[in-house]
Amino acid sequence: MFDRYSEKSRRCVFFARYEASNFGASRMEPEHLLLGVVREGSDFLLTFLSGEAGLTSLRAGVEAAIPRKPRTSEAIDMPISGSLARVFRDAAKAAGRGGEVRIEHLLAGLLRQTSTAAARVLVAHGITLEKLALNGRNPRG
């Protein structure tokens, strides 16, 4: 499923699994992916945020939206939620046919799922589809 993903995007997914485990989730959600992007793609996110303080605020906003339960084992196979599956589908669509899925495509996928806390936190921090496009990171689709 992730063979079209750039190395950084694959690491975002890996870190999303780690974050889901830390929060005791039974499945990976868009919010966990956003935490993975914060961890791996902070350099990219900083083009939209006011320095490290903005990144810290973004992470805190996501963490506040996720219920915390006892940590689960990372060895357990963790399914993805329907909304995260839609994020991945939208990210692949944004990358275009045969294109590599990069961090900006993951963000576009997250933003297109407007009913999620991940999308609301991104928008609250000024990260929108329009800004992705204006930054020269065209999230097609």
Domains in the chain: boundaries: 7-134
For 25-34, b/e burial (b = at least 16 CB within 10 A) is beebbbbbbb
Q: Reply yes or no on whether the pLDDT at 57 is more than 90.
A: yes
Average pLDDT, the chain: 90
User: Tell me, what's the pLDDT at 75?
Assistant: 63
Q: What is the pLDDT of residues 78-96, one digit of tens each?
A: 899 999 999 999 999 999 8
7-134 adopts what CATH topology? Answer: Double Clp-N motif (1.10.1780)
pLDDT value, residue 137: 53
Report the pLDDT value the prediction gives residue 80, as an integer from 0 to 100. 95
What does the pLDDT read at residue 141? 44
SS3 80: strand
Rounded percentage of the chain residues whose pLDDT exceeds 70? 92
* DSSP label at residue 11: H
Mean pLDDT in residue range 107-125: 96
Confidence band of 132 (pLDDT split at 50, 70, 90):
confident
Instruction: Between 84 and 68, name the one with better pLDDT.
Output: 84
**Residue 140 contacts residue 94 (beta carbons within 8 Å):** yes
Neighbours of 140 (CB within 10 A): 11
Among residues 25, 18, 27, the alpha carbon closest in space to that of 38 is found at 18
* Geometric angle at alpha carbon 134, from 7 and 8, rounded to 5°: 10
Check pLDDT > 90 for residue 68.
no
pLDDT score at 81: 97
Separation between Cα atoms, residue 17 and residue 27, nearest integer Å: 9
Cα–Cα distance, 130 to 139 (Å, whole number)? 9
Q: Are 23 and 10 in contact (CB under 8 A)?
A: no
- The pLDDT of residue 25 is 93
What is the average per-residue pLDDT within 41-70?
Answer: 90
